[in-house]
Amino acid sequence: MVRIYEDTPGGEGMERAVMVLREGGVIIYPTDTLYAVGCALDNARGAERIMQIKGLKRKSDRLTFLCDSISMVADYARVSNANYRLLRETLPGPFTIILPGMNRVPNHCLSRRKTVGVRIPDNSIARGLVEALGMPLVTGSLPVEEGEPEYGVYPELMEERWGMLVDLVVDGGEGGVVPSTVVDATVEPAVVIREGKGDLPL
């Protein structure tokens, strides 16, 4: 486990986490909502490990990817003028925005509808990881069971439960318990399909 502070998200902890990601590892790290498990976008094996940790089925479920800027989102998703305004109004923030995917998106991030879920969290550690890595993270929230919210709040408990399944746990302080708001922006007007931490400014 490494400790990274959100007000100063750098140093040896950040360097080690990025090294693990570059070497094909899977990490647990903080966001502005729940703690998440992630790997580099080009790491197909890492994505498989994340899906196993989360109990997802490859043919029916896809992972979100996390960016550090709207320009990075536009490298992997088709962003209309209306959706650009939506992204500007909501990100960085506690939202997952579903957009039409582009051909360069790896299959483990594309849904059957050829869409992608993208995030730019309001968390300097998460964005710092992406910026230092130079590509998005394939990601999903930790699979915390009902009745055990503490395993999604305290990094030492995350280490206890999932430490053997990942390559590194990043301690960025206590985690949240409310997931992101999910917005389907493949339709107009955009539709909230899961209520979460964020209030959509429609």
The enclosing domain of 118 has a CATH number of 3.90.870.10
* 199 occurs within a structural domain: no
Do 193 and 183 meet the contact criterion of CB atoms below 8 Å apart?
A: yes
The chain-wide mean pLDDT, for the chain, equals 93
Residue among 139, 120, 129, 118 nearest 53 (CA): 139
Within 8 A by CB and 6+ apart from 148, the residues are: none
Distance between CA atoms of 115 and 105, rounded to whole angstroms? Answer: 10
Asked, for residue 201, whether it belongs to a domain, the answer is no
- Residue range 60-71, pLDDT digits in tens: 567 899 999 999
Can you tell me which residue has the tokens 């999932």? Answer: 162
Tally of domains within the chain: 1
Is there a domain that residue 28 lies in? yes
With respect to residue 140, please indicate whether it lies within any of the assigned structural domains: yes
Q: What is the pTM of this model?
A: 0.94
Q: Which residues are CB-neighbours of 153 under 8 A, at least 6 positions away?
A: 174, 175, 176, 177
Range of the domain at 172: 2-194
